[in-house]
Structure 1
């Protein structure tokens, strides 16, 4: 088995330098060229760290806990958990995932994971919200994913909801839409208010009307279809920004009833880039993609920086081989991700 001493001899550096690099603590301490050479040599020699020896030496198990409140039962679980696992693997950690149904149950699951010696936790919510932090996390390293604590004191990562509304509306304006409707949700969600605020700011910046008659917030399929039908009949929008892809599908249905062609007579943008809708709707729906993979990846990267007590200004994200939305620096507080608008055919070309 290849040792750090062998790598040090092969690269001409000290064992302590090799240790810093292979434990991802080289930022600001080892020259980038030297660090790269050490990593390439370690890979070529087939170096594998001994997690048991490391845990005995450092009192760290290099095990992370991922606490998900219903995340594991949603369509977005795969992306967030995959991002978290990818970051953990790149940083030399393993991750245990449990699902909870609320704060009380979360405290029980956290206690169970602590018995396995977990070094820190990611606490993930099923949609962006303000949340209470489980009391058992108060004295432990943790990061919130897709949520912020009510006092905005805890490290967290969320989508930039305001910018979602702003970017989507600006795209409709760029397609020469001048009478743009917002189809929102009546559920009390943080994202609803922020996306609407971004939508209205984009209209204001463009000198366009943003009156209440061009905004509806509904829940339930039949109620939404009826409200959208009435809006098409009375207001004749030429563009629709929808709270999510499900609302966009309802616009598609109503447009068909009125003989309107998506991408020609009217333009539509959703949010989620949900696979089911992406593969079902025709023409394909232009949508803002929520950064579930990125939130999981960033949250674990931030958590490891806390566990290893890295200087916030020097902590860096590990490399990823995926095409991702740009992720914020690890010293951002609270952190937000600027979501990508995925262009398809539901917005008419100029």
Structure 2
């Protein structure tokens, strides 16, 4: 196993200098060209740090806690956790994940992570909403994922809900749709508020009047299908922006019952890029992909930057579907999601 002493000998510097560089404490202490040589030599010799020795020396375990509510039982969990895991691995950390159900269970799971000596926490919610940070997390570095701290104290990352709707509605305008409906969500959440405003603004910027009769808010249930059916018969939309891919199913169903062809007679854009819906509909659904991987990756980087008190400017970023915002972005950090073109929009 390669040691710092061997790296020091190869590079002609002291062991303490090598330690500063490999522990990311060289800024302002070691010349940049010397630090680059040390890092290159360490990589070439296959140097691996000793986490146990480092934790004893620094009081840090390099373990991160990921606390989620329901997210581990949803189809989107994999992307967020994979992003967080990849970032943790790239930064030399381990990730421990727990799923919670209710405040009592949440406190118990967080206590378990604390016993492992985690250096900081990520706290994730579902469907981008305001969250109250548990008191038991307030003494730790903390980043919220797909949620916003109601008190405005802790950093967080979320999809840019306004731009999701703005881009989707603009795409329908560009396709020549004249009567664009919004099939929204009846729940009160950040995602619904942002998407409703983005839909309205895109129409206004295109010189279209906002028409409230073209907007409905529904849940995922039988009455939702009836509400979409009534919208078809009452307003005759030729374009539909749907809060998510699940609600786009109602539009496909209603179109089929009326002998209309999606992608020719009407155009539809969803949100999620949910594999079951977006890939099995025919024609396949044009949709805005939510940045689950990107949120997990960004949150981990932000958390590590807080733990280590550095900007991570030297860390190479992965190629992602949506660009990652800078770590010093205004909070909540918003990720501009990518519209995935398929076959449900004419032209």
Alignment TM class, shorter chain as reference: over 0.9
Give me the TM-score of the superposition, normalised by structure 2.
Answer: 0.93
Instruction: Write the distance in 1 (CA, Å) between the matches of 2:266 and 2:28.
Output: 53
Match of 1:319 among 309, 313, 316: 316
Structure 2 CA distance, aligned partners of 1:225 and 1:83? 35
1-structure distance, mates of 2:169, 2:258: 23
What runs of 5+ residues in structure 1 fail to find an aligned partner? none
Mapped to 2, the partners of 1:36 and 1:271 lie a distance apart of 44
Assess, with a 3 A threshold, how the Cα gap between structure 1 residues 54 and 168 changes in structure 2: closer, same or farther: same
Q: Is the 8 A contact 1:24 1:91 kept in 2?
A: no
TM-score (norm 1): 0.93
2:345 is aligned, of 340, 343, 347, to 347
> Which deviates more, 161-170 or 38-47?
38-47
Q: Does residue 328 in structure 1 map to residue 325 in structure 2?
A: yes
Other-structure match for 1:82: 82
**How many corresponding residue pairs?**
346
Identify which range, 225-234 or 319-328, moves more after superposition: 319-328
Q: CA deviation at 1:323?
A: 2.8
Distance change (3 Å), C-alpha of 1:285 and 1:97: same
Matched, 1:169 2:166: no
SS state at 1:230 partner? helix
Whole-angstrom CA distance in 2 between matches of 1:320 and 1:172: 33
Q: Deviations over 1:45-101 (max 9, x none)?
A: 121110011001101111111111111111111000011111110111101111111
Matched with 1:47 is 47
Alignment CA distance shift 1:35-1:258 (3 Å): farther
Describe the SS at the equivalent of 1:280.
Answer: coil
Task: Give, in angstroms, the shift of residue 247 of structure 1.
Answer: 0.7
1:189-248 Cα shifts (integer Å, max 9, x gaps): 221111011100110111112211000111233212212222222211111000000011
What are the within-5 Å matches in structure 2 for residues 65-214 of structure 1? 65-214=65-214
Structure 1 contact 316–330 (Cα < 8 Å) conserved: no
> Residues of 2 paired with 1:93 and 1:10: CA distance?
27
